[in-house]
Structure formats: structure tokens, C-alpha cells
């Protein structure tokens, strides 16, 4: 069976306020063309179809058009909701849409009910595990703890139990939206940390032939059988080095997996430039970036006049400007953005406590209080999205 693994479309998202709907439409054109050209049997979308719970009308129209075109292409489609999606909204009409070969899996309680699709060698069972917010689904799975590993492990136990009741020849594919240990994140994924932990071990997916993952935006293989497709477009400058692709997966009669990366169209390249303003404006080696979306980090010791206006004369698509003057690392005038880069909410809060105490940091009990507070806020946000 030939499978096209995609995820993280984020329909409706912009890039530094530049609308991406046309680029997303071009990607979906490419997706349908790939289905035809490579004779794909099944398309997988591993969550984050939309960028937010209440997507803009243009994104909804684009999604609706994509569903019709995928159905007409003759390939079955299986998709799950991600942490950016409203599971209830995305799942509306799932029963009716399923009759057209578009299978939406957004209800955690039904994660062990597979979509069965046959080929010449028997059935392939596709299990859809939508994004599982631990505090919201802990009771559904009777998990001992409200953590990512606990709830995802409980869901996979149900999958393995169902699979054990099926003929031995049944091959299996799981779609999941999670942060798996060993995966490389970027700046554009929403934090899903709970209890100080975001990642789950790849071994949680033991027992299935292929795990099609979503959430991380870089295409990567955690193992031969556990892979991220990544997002089809770059959504932050941290993805400047990404090669945006989809996985074309062949699943043979014995469940062996082979994969090939299919490139996605690039609307405009990304460039992260760093140096003194005059050097950036004069360096001939930067000619190749003149039509790219640019994030420039200026290292001038004194802020130069009109930096954005001067940059856009050479790089008209400059979208980001950062000031990091060359100076000692401990210099108190280092930019606020520079001090926060690479730090999560927990780290920032702990640093703030140490700052106001004159250097005396948090103890383990205080760190636990902060973790609980951030988890509570995250859960409340999730409840509000579900109830919208």
C-alpha cells in the first residue's frame, strides 16, 4: 500500500503578517498532483489542519476544496485533529464525510476503532489518535497520571489490544500528534509541556508497522517506523534550514516500510543574516538572498539610523530585525529578546524569581508550584477552545 504522510498544514496562518493562503493553496494543488503522479492509495494528515480553533473563512474554504479534490482523486484520506485545531469543529459531519473516503478522527474515545483499508495482501488498520491534552483525557483512558506519556501509552494499549483481535496478516498504521523524544523542534510549534515534560519515548508506538506523526515542523525520522512529515511551509525563521517535504511510504505485504521524501513548493526562500548593517548592505555574497524573506540581526555597537529602510533597499522582503550589539555576554544591555531566546515559560519564571531575590533561585517545591500554575493555564485554554 502506498501512503502519503503529511501534517501541520496550519491553514490560515501567516508568516510575520504576510498572508500565506495562496502558498497553502499551491501546496494543496501539489498534494493532489502528487497523489495522481505517484498512484497514492492513502493520504494521512497527522493534525494541525488549521492554525487556530476558529479558522478564518478563507482557510475553511481551502480545506473544503481540498477534501473534494482528494475524494475525486480516488485516494482514501485519514486525518486527525492537532493541538491547534478545535477537535469538535473539525469532526463535524465525520460520519457523512467518511462515506466519501475522507476519515476524520477527532474523538479520543474512538482511537482504537480503525479505518480498515484493503490492498492485495489484506487489510491495513489505520488508527487515528488526535492530540491528547493529558488533563482533558486522563479519565477517558483511566490513566494513572495526567502526563503525555501516560495518556498516549494508554491510548496505544487500546490500539494494540484491538490489533491483537484481528487476523495476524493485518498491518497497522497509527496517526498521532505529539512531541516524541529524539525529534528536533523549531520555534513555530506551540508549547505542549505538562508537568515539566513535553516529550514521550518513541517506544510508546511499539507494536505497529508505522507511526505517522505530526506536531514538529521539520521532516525527520525518529526511527525507520516513527516519522514526522513536518509542515509543508515554513512558519518561522527557525525553519530556514528545513527542506519541506512529505513522506511517500510504501508498506509491503509483511509490514516493512520504505520511505521517500517528496519536495513541497517553496513560495519564497528564507534567510537569516547577521552582521554590521554596512556589511550586510555591501557584501556581494548575499546577492542570492535579495528576493528571500529576511531576518536580519544587526551587531553594530551603536544602533544605526533607519536600519529597516536601508535594509529593504537591498532586501525588499525583510520581515524581521533584531539588535544584538557585539559585547560581553554578561552585558546588562543585551536585548530582551536575546535573553529569552530558547527559554520556555518555566525557565523565564524561575529566572524572574532569582532576579527579584537578588540571585537566590527557586527550590524544588517552588518549581513544582510554577509547573502546576502553567499546566493549569494551558488546560484552561484547552477547555475554552473545546467549549467555543
If asked whether residues 13 and 115 sit together in one domain, one would say yes
Please give the C-alpha separations between residue 52 and each of 11, 59, 194, 253, in angstroms, as whole numbers.
9, 10, 20, 39
**Confidence bin at 328 (pLDDT 50/70/90):** very low
Local structure of 250: helix, strand or coil: strand
Can you tell me the mean pLDDT for 273-287?
97
pLDDT of residue 360: 66
Can you tell me the mean pLDDT for 298-309?
93
Task: Record the pTM.
Answer: 0.84
In tens, the pLDDT along 59-116 reads 999 999 999 999 999 999 999 999 999 999 999 999 999 999 999 999 999 999 999 9
C-beta of residue 158 within 8 angstroms of C-beta of residue 112: yes
If asked whether residues 51 and 194 sit together in one domain, one would say yes
If asked whether residues 303 and 235 sit together in one domain, one would say no
The whole-angstrom separation of Cα 178 and Cα 172 is 19
Can you tell me the mean pLDDT for 337-341?
68
The whole-angstrom separation of Cα 186 and Cα 198 is 14
If asked whether residues 257 and 283 sit together in one domain, one would say no
- Up-side HSE of residue 294: CA atoms within 13 Å toward CB? 24
The answer to whether position 386 is within a domain reads: no
Burial class for 334, CB neighbours closer than 10 Å (0-12, 13-18, 19+): middle
The answer to whether position 388 is within a domain reads: no
If asked whether residues 245 and 325 sit together in one domain, one would say no
H or E segment and range at residue 211: strand 210-214
pLDDT of residue 292: 98
Containing structural domain, residue 20: 2-263
The answer to whether position 387 is within a domain reads: no
* Alpha-helix residue ranges (DSSP H) falling in 229-306: 277-282
Overall domain count for the chain: 2
Phi, psi of 2 (to 5 degrees): -105, 125
Q: DSSP for 345-388?
A: HHHHHHHHHHHHTTS----HHHHHHHHHHHHHHHHHHHHHHHH-
Q: Tell me the sheet residues that pair with 6.
A: 45
Q: Tell me the sheet residues that pair with 213.
A: 176, 228
If asked whether residues 233 and 315 sit together in one domain, one would say no
Task: Cell numbers for 229, please give them.
Answer: 512529515
Task: Cell numbers for 345, please give them.
Answer: 515559560
Local structure of 73: helix, strand or coil: helix
In tens, the pLDDT along 116-159 reads 999 999 999 999 999 999 999 999 998 888 899 999 999 999 99
Mean pLDDT taken over the chain: 92
If asked whether residues 203 and 291 sit together in one domain, one would say no
Amino acid at each position: 500500500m502506498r501512503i502519503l504522510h503529511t501534517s501541520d498544514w496550519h491553514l490560515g496562518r501567516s508568516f510575520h503578517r504576510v498572508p500565506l493562503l495562496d502558498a497553502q493553496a499551491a501546496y494543496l494543488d501539489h498534494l493532489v498532483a502528487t497523489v495522481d503522479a505517484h498512484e497514492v492509495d492513502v493520504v494521512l494528515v497527522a493534525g494541525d489542519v488549521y492554525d487556530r480553533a476558529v479558522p478564518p473563512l478563507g482557510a475553511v474554504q481551502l480545506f473544503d476544496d481540498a477534501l473534494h479534490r482528494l475524494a475525486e482523486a480516488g485516494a482514501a484520506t485519514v486525518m486527525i485533529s492537532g493541538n491547534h485545531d478545535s477537535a469538535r469543529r473539525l469532526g463535524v459531519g465525520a460520519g457523512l464525510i467518511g462515506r466519501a473516503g475522507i476519515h476524520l478522527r477527532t474523538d479520543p474515545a474512538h482511537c482504537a476503532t480503525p479505518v480498515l483499508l484493503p490492498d492485495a495482501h489484506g487489510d491495513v488498520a489505520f488508527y487515528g489518535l488526535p492530540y491528547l491534552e493529558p488533563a482533558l483525557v486522563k479519565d477517558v483512558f483511566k490513566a494513572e497520571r495526567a502526563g503525555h506519556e501516560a495518556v498516549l501509552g494508554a491510548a496505544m494499549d487500546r490500539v494494540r489490544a484491538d490489533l491483537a483481535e484481528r487476523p495476524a496478516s493485518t498491518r497497522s498504521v497509527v496517526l498521532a500528534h505529539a512531541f516524541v523524544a529524539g525529534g528536533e523542534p523549531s520555534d513555530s510549534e506551540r508549547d505542549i509541556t505538562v508537568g515539566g515534560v513535553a516529550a514521550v519515548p518513541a517506544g510508546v508506538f511499539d507494536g505497529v508497522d508505522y507511526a505517522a506523526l505530526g506536531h514538529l515542523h521539520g521532516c525527520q525520522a525518529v526511527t525507520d517506523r516513527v516519522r514526522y512529515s513536518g509542515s509543508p511551509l515554513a512558519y518561522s525563521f527557525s525553519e530556514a534550514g528545513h527542506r519541506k517535504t512529505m513522506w511517500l511510504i510504501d508498506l509491503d505485504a509483511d509490514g516493512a516500510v520504505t520511505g521517500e521524501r517528496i519536495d513541497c513548493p517553496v513560495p519564497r526562500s528564507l534567510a537569516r543574516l547577521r552582521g554590521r548593517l554596512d556589511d550586510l548592505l555591501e557584501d556581494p555574497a548575499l546577492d542570492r538572498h535579495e528576493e528571500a524573506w529576511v531576518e536580519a540581526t544587526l551587531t553594530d555597537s551603536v544602533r544605526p539610523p533607519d536600519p529597516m529602510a536601508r535594509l529593504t533597499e537591498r532586501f525588499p522582503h525583510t520581515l524581521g530585525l533584531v539588535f544584538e550589539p557585539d559585547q560581553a555576554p554578561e552585558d546588562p544591555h543585551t536585548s530582551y529578546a536575546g535573553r529569552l531566546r530558547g527559554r520556555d515559560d518555566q525557565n523565564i519564571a524561575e529566572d524572574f524569581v532569582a532576579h527579584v531575590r537578588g540571585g537566590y533561585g527557586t527550590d524544588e517545591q517552588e518549581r513544582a508550584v510554577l509547573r502546576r500554575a502553567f499546566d493549569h493555564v494551558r488546560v484552561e485554554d484547552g477547555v475554552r477552545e473545546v467549549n467555543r
